[in-house]
Amino acid sequence: MKQDYLVANTSITLINYHFVWIVRRRRKVLVGDIDLRLKELINQAVTEIDCKVIAVESHLDHVHLFLQSNPLIAPNQIIHKVKGFTSFRLRKEFPELMKLPSMWTRSYFCGTAGAVSGDTIKRYVTPQKTK
């Protein structure tokens, strides 16, 4: 997997993050149309903050997101934007999700990955649906 470096006036960067977060109360709601819409919304949210999705997959009650980040935005800002945006839109479009007190838990995992281990993470994230 070849990744493009982000080139700015005074820097060249390659910053990849692997995020994992779960549905509130581990409810298994990420299926069908909700799952498809979630992935669309994640792509939209990530694009709005000038980042790039490398891989995204969800399985019933959790989400894996592997992305290339703009160096000017911190990981906590990325996950805040993605979780907030997806929660608001999903709960608005799918009223059955309003039964949960909130869509996502406040916690999340974030790991960094370079170009070499990025392939490994992508191979891990992609088949999550089958587990």
- Residues 64-94 pLDDT 10s: 999 999 999 999 999 999 999 999 999 999 9
- Inside any domain, residue 69: yes
Cβ-based burial of 127 (10 A; exposed 0-12, middle 13-18, buried ≥19) = exposed
Q: Are 34 and 98 in contact (CB under 8 A)?
A: no
CATH of the domain at 92: 3.30.70.1290
Mean pLDDT for each consecutive 10-residue tract of the chain (131 residues)?
A: 81 93 96 97 97 95 95 96 98 96 96 71 76 57
- Inside any domain, residue 83: yes
Which tokens in the block code for residue 117? 């281990």
Q: What is the span of the domain harbouring residue 29?
A: 6-130
The secondary structure of residue 104, as a DSSP letter, is: B
Q: What's this model's pTM, rounded to 2 decimal places? A: 0.85
Rounded-to-integer distance, Cα 42 and Cα 27, Å:
19
Q: Are 115 and 15 in contact (CB under 8 A)?
A: no
